[in-house]
Structure 1
Amino acid sequence: MPRLTWRNVYQVDLGPLKSAIGQWNTMVGKLEEVSTEAHDGMLKKANKAEWAGVNADVTRPFIKAIADEITDAHTEAKDLHKELSDAYRALKSIQDELQTKVDDARRKGIEISDGKDGQIICKYPPQPGHQNEVISEKRRKELQTLGEELAALVARANSRDSYTAGILAKIHGGDPHNFAKNGSIDAYKAKRALEITRKGAEASNKELRKLAEILKYNKDDPSFSHAFFKGLGGPKETLEYYARMSIDGTGASGKARLDAVQDLQRYLGPTLATATDPDHKGYLNWGPAFRRLGTKDIRIDALGFQPKGYQLLGGILRYGNYDKKFLTPIAEHVVQLQHDHPTGYWKTPFGPDAQFGLDPNGKKNSGYDPVTSVLEALGHSPEASEAFFSKDPGVKPVSAYDENGKIDPNKSIDYSYLDELTREDYHWNNDGTSPVRGEQVLSGKDALGHALESATIGNPYDEPAVGGNPHTDSRASIVDKLIRTVDKNHEFVSRDISDSMGKIAGEYMPEINKAVAGADGKVNSDLFITAHTRDFDTQASIRFLDALGRHPEGHAEATLGAQRYQADLMREVSRQPDHFSGSPEDNMRQVARNSGTLEGILGSARHDAVITEGQEAEKKFNEELEKRGEIIKQIVGLPVGAAAERVPVGGDLITGITEQVIDSAVESQQKHTLEDDASSGATVSFETREQAGRWAQYAARNAGYPPGVNATDFARDISNETADGYDHGEQVRENGYDNKVRRSGD
């Protein structure tokens, strides 16, 4: 089969495919009517007829065969319609993304062409007289990234095209005189997948890739997922199969085998999430069985030791968005077990077995710690994570589980899971054996950050919040408690978790701005509108920002989030003045001042960290800003904070952040504290304050000046307000930090 190129994907007209889907939908409806008539009419009459001889022996079976053939035709038509619909949605999504990237690149003047062996070449054509100039490192990276992104999209299109062609061949069966006798295509696909699973570790790499492909394209299909996991045998058999394949892939079988098993893990979890979702008819209620098996030793001959069920289940749960009724009790049980047995409960290999791992995709651990695994699962399951972190015995009783995962009415839990996982003396398990040589091993705090992002932002941590999720009282209460946790324990914000804390801060800028405004009598906190009534503590919020500002990842996320919110809010104040009390010009000045205060807190915290740690820290801060600026460009147009409640995506009031604005935001924050004089704090502070003012002017101009103001005077006012706010931010941070130190010493 010819391989698609980027031009094919860009140019192909998917209209005929969409038209064919409509025609097959019509055919499905007509065949359903004929099938019903054949069985309820013709066949019923034939069965009731008092026939004898030839009529009984020949005519009746013939009529039944005709009715069954019509049913097969209806089944085949349904399957064709379903597979074509799935293929169209997938290819249209890929095409839309590729077209957007290509069109954006062309607007920048980038040329895209075909190279050898399907390679995609991206370049800036040399300008006359500048043919010999060396391209900048920034542009080189930009072109390399674009080429890789386009190649990945083309690979996805080829994979989908190849898979659909193969399935369509199976649906029609290849017999011109008979409709396919495979039965439901979902049952057929499950049967094919199970044929490979029954081979276990004896399956070839090609077969494992085929299995992963079947799971990939059917993971969201309830009938397929139910049939597949039932065919595996049950919860215990599922754990045993995953364990065998995981250790086979992470052993000494080579990169090709590891790649195949990694794909299997990526799609096995989402398929289980679909199979166990109570929203689907006939779902598998396996939660109680998994909890019972969680504390049991599971014998896996190749391992040489017997891991507990939760250690195996954790590797599957790392992928997929699970229903809260399934996942939350499992997460509760695991954390309760860890609380009751802080050390030595979960088994880890030793000696030659150290080469194995239960998380084939584990770049950060080997998968022997189920606490980290369930936190990663919560990170992909927003409803489950929100329910988990909302559990608080101070509000209502928290379910206590016995060793078998059943609710124990005689046992009580006196801690919330948020308190438990954020306490200073919490024991994070050392999961330092990596299945991939040379990979860095981090603690479970990274996974905790992912789970907290999911719970508070409302979408899987590694997916953008499309359209802006509401800040409910439940989610805001988790953030509020988290801020107060950091207030009590500054060191909680470590490198492992600072990026997640920064993302949460960037999302909850309306609430944080409102809290910070409480320390300034010159700003009306009502400007910062929230959809709930929970208010964050002012001093705790200031110290929270201080903690984030000391880490490159947290500083970058929080700072760019604050600047993006400032631009959104200024635009709304300008375009929707009736939503706010006071005049638009006064409100925009107050937004600038309060944003300056946040910049002063974050900027002075960054400055302290750089002065303490040196030039490498400065470089890291700048790199993280640039990296996260590029990420933000991928979600341009998504309103955040207060704007998410009112501003329609795609409408006139869509966020004013453009690619150019984001670049300006990054540039305004990239500082070079140590280039000249590391001790010149006053000079650096002045430059940072000036940069904040320039950004505020940009945001105000992008929002649109209120009618009647003098542009020059107003721009100067915005800059001055920002500078005053910055000075105020430095002061309130210093006061808050000093008060904290004094309070700790009392």
Structure 2
Amino acid sequence: MLTYHEVMSTDLGLLTTAAGKWDEMAGELKKVETRYGDSVQKITTGPDWSGVSVGVAHSNFAATRYEYSAAQIQAKAVASLLRDAHTQFADLKKRVESARDDAIKAGMTVSEQGTVAFDYAKLTPAERSAYHHDPDGQTTIRDAVNKWQQHLNDQVKAVSEADQGVKIALEAVGVDSNKDAFGKGNDGTLNGFNADAQGDIEVYEARNAEDIATRINSGGKVSAADYAELDRSFRDNAKSTEFNQTFLNGMGAQNTLKLTNKLTDHAYGDDKGNQQRYTNLQKGLASSLSTAMQDPKSKFYQDFRAQLKQAGLQQFDLKQIADSPQIGTGHGQKVRGYQSLITLMQNGDGYSTSFMHDLADDIRSAEDKKRGGNPDVWDLTSDFSGKNKGWFANDPLDGLLGIMSKDPAATTSYLDPGPDGKNDNLQYLVKDRDWNHVDTTYWVGNIEHTGSDAFDKDVRAGLGLALESATTGHAPGAPGTEFGRHPEAEARVMHEAVNLFDYGDGNGKDDKGQLKGQGDSVLKSEEYANVRGPLARALSSYSPDIVDIIAGDGPGDLVGKDDALANGDHSQIQNSRSSLLRVLRGVSEDPENYFLLHESERRYMAEQLTTQDLSDPEALKNRAAKIGEVNGAINAIGGDIHLSERDAKLSEAGDMRVYGYHFIGGAITGIPVVGDMAQRVVDGCWNEWLKGVSAEEGLLARERISSGNDAAQTDLSRFFKSWGDETHQSGTTVGAAQREAQQSYTSGRESAYDALRERK
């Protein structure tokens, strides 16, 4: 490995000087070749020489001239490699110099050998004494020195790794490719000059990487140094299109999938002690795929995609899956190429939108019966989730959705039905797709018993993340932002998702084939458990839309048909109140989701109270009525989920998780951020709200829905009292708002109960 001193003291200009000499050599060789052709070789074509000897001479002379030509190609390639090396080294050396300069600016010294130390000379005697007697100060200095030393070392390491790539290229460029040997042309030697010499360092690194990967696939001898070199090649060329396309083109899709399976088997099977080695290589291979497949118009992209279509449905050996404990027919099952591919891709990121969309479309075509696919193509006789080898993407489309969710724009465009409704990806995923990929076939003696396919515990996990990403414009699990509307495409996805999820255990369609609510959203089913959390986080960011719809201000039409609401970046969902309430109830099957949604909507309503001009009594009346009606509907949902009974079953950690939504505030995942004043309004009536929800549950259990809810009325009174105190309202104004909200509470709860009681 190169040292700091070597990097800083080496004269890089010698590389370009040497490159110039190699170019001159190529020019001189061209002159020799021309003279040879015009004099020596020409003799064999004249009339003065005949017989067998002239034929032999002709072949030998042609071979000699070929070598002169090959020597020129090789010399020019060496010159190009040296210039390429100079460009790389010059850039990397500047980074070393920049790291050194930054360290010095931060109060360090850097020796000629690259050793970083704290520059005590810049301190006054008093400061030096203070540091000397302050243990904390000494620790701070030591940590700072270590940080800058590591930063400098990393930059030197980058130069050293690039140097290794140059070494590989310079050693390989002089090896005769024997391009025209064995009767195919004029190359008459096995160890002559290289007519196939390349002028790019990355090409030779890729070929070397391919050689190592091929030996891994074949079970040949691969040393620790080989593995380290393959890892370095991936890491050092992560952004090089030429390296990665050359490597993958040489491997081909089939061997690339074999390689990832081999690495997986080593990591989780026969060489667990070196697991980090193989997981690093998986990351490098995934990065290689990501970089290579960026341009959908390139020949490489089109060719490799075609190879993946074929290899994606082929069956491959993967011992870690073949030897898994299984539900059905025993050991030895094989995996499909697409399952291995998505398992690999989970180790990387930065995939292009085109690649993810094309890949998703190809996988769907393989499984969608309407496209001639086989819905059972991914079926395996085991549940692969969590600790049970959850790293394996047995459902490649769902796995790809999880990967895609990291790129919100790509996910939105994939799921967006479009203004014309022609994109049916969301419809397919929610309504039409077969998600059961656990084959329950088993044998008793010689008799095969076939049961219904089951689902993994992580079923639809990718779909849930994709929905959150597509409807919010941010990665799943991101902290909440300020309340607002959404771009039209995001709102359209959420609108369609609410409609699609608004159906029960049946097919959810009327006699005309249209979706119809049944009182219970399918989201209550355990099959949708992994969708509920992400969808709840996404819905919390639609609190302004939800409040409008519950209060009767939503148009209940499709986004795109109402120009006033399909309004660019300020669009909103336009579902019916009943559909929305059923979906809110569905995601609230998990109590923490209910608390998240409640907290978000209460915050939004408090924000509206504390930021809008409500000096007009009529405006305040309308706002108070809206708050009362929404509280009634949300409390009714809380009553329907038997919140108190579920709370009793929660562990102490669970209680902290649920109630933490309120006390921790906007930084927690999914809850939008509001101002301090609005937060204090919500803080002032939290306990009263919980009492109101519990009372609502009791009324529902006793079928006394029409009865009043004194606890909820108290909650509303306290809510507006907090608002009045914060904004210095008169008692008359507060009282008017309280009465209006209390009157509207009943209509809100009844609309919710009506929606939850509906059946087809």
TM-score, normalisation: structure 1:
0.60
2:574 is the alignment partner of 1:536: yes
CA RMSD of aligned residues (A): 6.4
The answer to whether residue 295 in structure 2 is matched with residue 295 in structure 1 is no
Question: For residues 687 and 217 of structure 1, what CA distance do their matches in structure 2 show?
Answer: 65
Q: Which of 535, 543, 550 is 1:509 aligned to?
A: 543
Percent identity, aligned pairs only, is 14
Q: Which residue of 1 aligns with 2:590?
A: 551
Kindly provide the amino acid, as one letter, of the partner of residue 492 in structure 1.
L
Matched, 1:236 2:254: yes
CA shift for structure 1 position 611 = 2.1
Write out per-residue CA displacement over residues 114-165 of structure 1, whole angstroms, 9 at most, x where no aligned residue: 999x999xxxxxxxxxxxxxxxxxxxxxxxxxxxxxx9x9999799558525
Structure 2 distance, partners of 1:596, 1:154, is 59
SS at match of 1:246: helix
Counterparts of 1:89 and 1:627 in 2: how far apart (Å)? 45
Report the CA distance between 1:79 and its aligned residue: 1.6
- 1:306 aligned onto 2:334: yes
| Structure 1 SS opposite 2:583 | helix
Q: C-alpha displacement at 1:476, in angstroms?
A: 1.6
Of the three residues 477, 484, 487, the one matched with 2:502 is 487
Query: 1:615: which partner in 2?
Result: 648
1:479 CA drift (Å): 0.6
Q: Under a length normalisation based on structure 2, what TM-score does the superposition of the two structures give?
A: 0.59
Q: Matched residues in 1 for 2:626 and 2:366: separation?
A: 45
Deviation at residue 496 of structure 1 after TM alignment: 1.6
CA drift of 1:238 comes to 1.0
Mean Cα deviation higher: 77-86 or 327-336: 77-86
Q: What corresponds to 1:78 in structure 2?
A: 87
Pairing 1:450–2:465 present: yes
Matching of residue 348 in structure 1 with residue 380 in structure 2: yes
State whether residues 398 and 463 of structure 2, in contact with CA within 8 Å, keep that contact through their aligned partners in structure 1: yes
> Where does the alignment leave 5 or more consecutive residues of structure 2 unmatched?
2-6, 40-64, 103-134, 175-196, 323-331, 441-454, 505-520, 556-562, 699-708
Deviation per CA, 1:522-574: give whole Å up to 9, x if none.
Answer: xxx99998635564124033333333344244335545654676688789x67
Counterpart in the other structure of 2:637 = 605
Kept in 2, the 8 Å contact 1:498–1:553? The answer is: no
Question: Is contact 2:81–2:201 with CA below 8 Å preserved after alignment?
Answer: no
Aligned residue for 2:256, secondary structure, equals helix
Q: State the partner residue of 2:427.
A: 419
Once the two structures are overlaid, the 10-residue window that deviates more, 450-459 or 663-672, is 663-672
Is this contact kept in 2: 1:563–1:665, CA < 8 A? Answer: yes
Aligned: 1:327 with 2:336: no
Listed as ranges, the gaps of 5+ residues in structure 1 are 2-16, 94-110, 121-150, 399-415, 433-439, 575-580, 641-654, 698-708
Q: Which amino acid aligns with 2:338?
A: Y
1:246 match: 264
Task: Quote the Cα distance in structure 2 between the aligned partners of 1:727 and 1:91.
Answer: 68
Q: Give the AA of the match of 1:284.
A: Y
Q: 1:495 is matched by which residue type in structure 2? A: A
Query: 1:461 and 2:476 equivalent?
Result: yes
Write the distance in 2 (CA, Å) between the matches of 1:63 and 1:585.
91
Task: Assess, with a 3 A threshold, how the Cα gap between structure 1 residues 75 and 551 changes in structure 2: closer, same or farther.
Answer: same
1:198 aligns with 2:232: no
What's the offset of the Cα at 1:235? 0.9
The answer on whether the counterparts of 2:628 and 2:740 sit within 8 Å (CA) in structure 1 is yes
Q: Which amino acid aligns with 1:278?
A: D
- 2:378 alignment partner, SS class: coil
Q: Distance in 1 between matches of 2:312 and 2:71?
A: 54
| Separation in 1, partners of 2:353, 2:660 | 36
> Bigger radius of gyration, 1 or 2?
2
- Which residue type is aligned with residue 401 of structure 2? L
Aligned length: 596
Q: Decide whether aligned partners of structure 1 residues 164 and 218 sit closer, same or farther in structure 2, where only a CA change above 3 A counts.
A: same
Displacement of 1:482 in angstroms is 0.9
2: CA distance between counterparts of 1:113 and 1:687?
56
**Partner AA of 1:224 in structure 2:** F
Distance 1:49 1:444 in 2: 71
Structure 1 segment 12-23 matched on structure 2, within 5 A: none
2:290 is matched with which residue: 273, 283, 294? 273
- From the superposition, tell whether residues 714 and 183 of structure 1 become closer, same or farther in structure 2 (CA, over 3 Å): farther
Q: Distance in 1 between matches of 2:649 and 2:473?
A: 35
Quick one: structure 1 residues 314 and 279, their matched pair in 2 at CA, closer, same or farther if it must change by over 3 Å?
A: closer
Residues 159 and 384 (structure 1 numbering): CA distance in 2 closer, same or farther, change over 3 Å? farther
In the TM superposition, what whole-angstrom CA distance separates every residue of 1:144-192 from its partner, at most 9, and x where no partner exists? xxxxxxx9x99997995585254255367699xxx99996454465456
Contact 1:35 1:74 in 2 (8 A): yes
Q: Aligned equivalents of 2:210 and 2:589: distance in 1?
A: 51
- Match for residue 222 of structure 1 among 215, 229, 241: 241
Alpha carbons 2:408, 2:475 under 8 Å: kept: yes
SS in 2 for 1:518: coil
Q: 1:344 to 1:425 in 2, by over 3 A?
A: closer
Q: Which residue of 2 aligns with 1:369?
A: 395
**Correspondence 1:390 to 2:419:** no
In structure 2, what is the Cα distance between the partners aligned to 1:537 and 1:670? 32
Structure-2 separation of matches of 1:236 and 1:740: 53
Q: What does residue 475 of structure 1 align with?
A: 490
Of 143, 153, 158, which residue of structure 2 is paired with 1:164? 158
Per the TM alignment, residue 315 of structure 1 is displaced from its structure 2 partner at its CA by: 1.1
CA contact (8 A) 2:418 2:492 kept: no
Give a deviation string over 1:672-715, Cα, whole Å, max 9, x none: 969x9999966864686578669x85xxxxxxxxxxx9965249
Taking the aligned partners of 2:100 and 2:623, their CA distance within structure 1 comes to 44
- Where does 1:571-610 land on structure 2 (aligned, <5 Å)? 601-602=633-634, 605-606=637-638, 608-610=641-643
SS of the residue 1:541 aligns to: helix
1-structure distance, mates of 2:751, 2:398: 34
Determine if contact 2:313/2:337 at 8 Å carries over to the other structure.
Answer: yes
